[in-house]
A = this chain, B = another copy of it.
Amino acid sequence: MAALNRQTNETIRVQRCHGKIAIEEAVDSPFFNALATDPPAPLIAKFEGAVPFSKDFLTHVQKRSSDIQLRLESMDQTGISYAVVSLTSPGIQGVADASKAIEWAKKTNDHVYDAYVKAYPDRFGFFACVPMQDPKAAAAELERAVTQLGAKGVLINGFSNINSNDMDEIQYLDHPGCEPFWEMLAKLDVPLYIHPRNPPVSQQRLYWDYPNLAQASYGFGVETAGHALRIMCSGILDRYPNVQIILGHCAEALPFLIHRIDHRMVIATQGSCGPHKQNMMYYLQNNFHATCAGVRRESTLRNTIEEMGEGKVMFSVDYPYESNEDAADWFDGLQMNENSRRAIASENAKRLLKIR
Residue-wise, chain A 1-29 has the 8 Å CB interface mask toward B (1 for contact) of: 11110111011101000000000000000
- By the criterion CB–CB under 8 Å, are B303 and A256 in contact? yes
A60 at the B interface (CB under 8 A): yes
Separation of A93 and B257 alpha carbons in the complex (Å): 26
Asked if A31 CB lies within 8 Å of chain B CBs, one says no
The segment out of A48-56, A143-151, A178-186 that lies at the interface is A48-56
Most buried by B among A255, A257, A339: A257
CB <8 Å contact, A308 and B337: yes
Q: Does A274 contact B (CB under 8 A)?
A: yes
- Report yes or no: A11 in contact with B333, Cβ–Cβ below 8 A: yes
Q: In the complex, which residues of chain B have a beta carbon less than 8 angstroms from the beta carbon of A14?
A: 12
- From B54, B229, B310, contact of A210 by CB (8 A): B229
Residue ranges of A at the interface with B (Cβ–Cβ < 8 Å)? 1-4, 6-8, 10-12, 14, 47, 50, 52-57, 60, 170, 174, 199-200, 202-203, 205-207, 209-213, 215-218, 221-223, 225-227, 229-230, 233-234, 249-250, 253, 255-257, 259-261, 263-270, 272-274, 282, 285, 294-300, 302-303, 306-312, 323, 325-326, 329-330, 333, 335-340, 343
The answer to whether A7 and B217 touch (CB under 8 A), given A211-B272, A256-B300, is no
For A7, A199, A230, which residue has the most chain B Cβ atoms within 10 angstroms?
A7
Residues on the B chain within 8 Å of A255, using CB:
256, 299
User: Which of A218, A230, A311 neighbours the largest number of chain B CB atoms within 10 Å of its CB?
Assistant: A218
Copies in the complex: 4
- A-B interface, 7 closest residue pairs, ranked by CB to CB distance from nearest: A309-B339, A52-B272, A259-B297, A212-B273, A217-B264, A310-B310, A256-B256
Assembled-state Cα–Cα distance A297/B311 (Å): 21
* Chain B hits for A52, CB < 8 A: 268-269, 272-273
Check if A11 sits within 8 Å of B57, measured CB to CB. no
Chain B nearest CB from A168 CB (Å) reads 8
| A56 x B266 contact (CB < 8 A) | no
A-B contact pairs, 29 of them (CB 8 A): A1-B57, A1-B60, A3-B60, A3-B267, A10-B263, A11-B326, A11-B330, A11-B333, A53-B267, A54-B267, A200-B205, A206-B222, A206-B230, A211-B272, A211-B273, A212-B272, A216-B260, A217-B273, A221-B257, A222-B222, A249-B260, A255-B299, A263-B294, A264-B294, A285-B337, A297-B335, A300-B303, A306-B336, A309-B310
